[in-house]
Structure 1
Amino acid sequence: MNYSNPTHLQAAILDWAGTVVDFGSFAPTQIFVEAFAEFDVQVSIEEARGPMGMGKWDHIRTLCDQSPIAERYRKVFGRVPTDEDVTAIYERFMPLQIEKIAEHSALIPGALDTLTRLRQQGLKIGSCSGYPAVVMNKVVELAAQNGYVADHVVATDEVPNGRPWPAQALANVIALGVDDVAACVKVDDTVPGILEGRRAGMWTVALLCSGNALGMTHEQYQALTPERLDAERTRIHALFEGSRPHYLVDTINELPEVIADINRRLEKGEVPQLA
Structure 2
Amino acid sequence: MSGAGRTTVACLDLAGTTVADGGIVETAFAEAIASLGIVSGTGAHKRAMARVADGRGRSKIEIFRTLFAEDEARAQAANLSFERSYDQLVDRRGLAPVPGAETALQRLADAGIKVCLLTGFSRRTLGRVLDTLGWWNLADMALCPEDGGRGRPWPDLILSAALRLGIDDVRDIAVCGDTENDILAGRRSGASIVAGVLTGAHDAPRLTAAGATHILPSITDFPPLVLPQNPTPPPKPLTTTTP
Same fold (TM over 0.5): yes
> What is the CA–CA distance in structure 2 between the aligned matches of 1:177 and 1:263, rounded to whole Å?
26
By how many angstroms is 1:39 displaced? 2.7
Per-residue deviation, residues 200-226 of structure 1 (Å, max 9, x unmatched)? 111200112x1112xxxxxxxxxxxxx
**Corresponding residue number in structure 2 for 1:192:** 181
By how many angstroms is 1:98 displaced? 3.0
Is residue 61 from structure 1 mapped to residue 51 from structure 2 by the alignment?
A: no
Opposite residue 159 of structure 1, the aligned amino acid is: G
> Percent identity among equivalent residues?
26
Is residue 27 from structure 1 mapped to residue 34 from structure 2 by the alignment?
A: no
By how many angstroms is 1:49 displaced? 2.4
The alignment's TM-score, normalised by the length of structure 1, stands at: 0.72
Is the deviation greater in 243-252 or in 87-96? Answer: 87-96
Q: Relative to structure 1, is the Cα distance of residues 168 and 154 closer, same or farther in structure 2, using a 3 angstrom cutoff?
A: same
Structure 1: gaps spanning 5 or more residues: 66-80, 214-235, 265-275
The alignment's TM-score, normalised by the length of structure 2, stands at: 0.81
Opposite residue 9 of structure 1, the aligned amino acid is: T
Opposite residue 31 of structure 1, the aligned amino acid is: A
Structure 2: gaps spanning 5 or more residues: 232-243
Native 8 Å contact 1:132 1:156 kept in 2? yes
**Corresponding residue number in structure 1 for 2:87:** 98
Opposite residue 223 of structure 2, the aligned amino acid is: P
**Corresponding residue number in structure 2 for 1:127:** 117
Native 8 Å contact 1:114 1:256 kept in 2? yes
> What is the CA–CA distance in structure 1 between the aligned matches of 2:130 and 2:156, rounded to whole Å?
20
Count of matched residue positions in the alignment of Structure 1 and Structure 2:
221
Native 8 Å contact 2:8 2:114 kept in 1? yes
**Corresponding residue number in structure 2 for 1:224:** none
> What is the CA–CA distance in structure 1 between the aligned matches of 2:160 and 2:87, rounded to whole Å?
24
Secondary structure of the 1:53 match is: coil
> What is the CA–CA distance in structure 2 between the aligned matches of 1:95 and 1:156, rounded to whole Å?
19
Q: Relative to structure 1, is the Cα distance of residues 187 and 104 closer, same or farther in structure 2, using a 3 angstrom cutoff?
A: farther
Is residue 136 from structure 1 mapped to residue 126 from structure 2 by the alignment?
A: yes
Per-residue deviation, residues 60-119 of structure 1 (Å, max 9, x unmatched)? 233446xxxxxxxxxxxxxxx733322222222222223333535211111112222222
Is residue 174 from structure 1 mapped to residue 174 from structure 2 by the alignment?
A: no
Q: Relative to structure 1, is the Cα distance of residues 175 and 263 closer, same or farther in structure 2, using a 3 angstrom cutoff?
A: farther
By how many angstroms is 1:143 displaced? 2.1
**Corresponding residue number in structure 1 for 2:224:** 257
**Corresponding residue number in structure 1 for 2:235:** none
Q: Which has the higher helix share?
A: 1
**Corresponding residue number in structure 1 for 2:238:** none
Larger radius of gyration between Structure 1 and Structure 2: 2
By how many angstroms is 1:23 displaced? 5.1
> What is the CA–CA distance in structure 2 between the aligned matches of 1:106 and 1:262, rounded to whole Å?
30
By how many angstroms is 1:262 displaced? 9.8
Native 8 Å contact 2:95 2:133 kept in 1? yes
Per-residue deviation, residues 214-271 of structure 1 (Å, max 9, x unmatched)? xxxxxxxxxxxxxxxxxxxxxx22212331111111100111222147999xxxxxxx
> What is the CA–CA distance in structure 2 between the aligned matches of 1:137 and 1:32, rounded to whole Å?
19
Q: Among residues 225, 230, 238, which one is paired with 2:205 in the alignment?
A: 238
> What is the CA–CA distance in structure 1 between the aligned matches of 2:79 and 2:212, rounded to whole Å?
30
**Corresponding residue number in structure 2 for 1:38:** 35
After superposition, where does 1:63-82 map in structure 2 within 5 Å?
63-64=67-68, 82=71
Q: Relative to structure 1, is the Cα distance of residues 14 and 154 closer, same or farther in structure 2, using a 3 angstrom cutoff?
A: same
Is residue 112 from structure 1 mapped to residue 102 from structure 2 by the alignment?
A: yes
Is residue 89 from structure 1 mapped to residue 61 from structure 2 by the alignment?
A: no
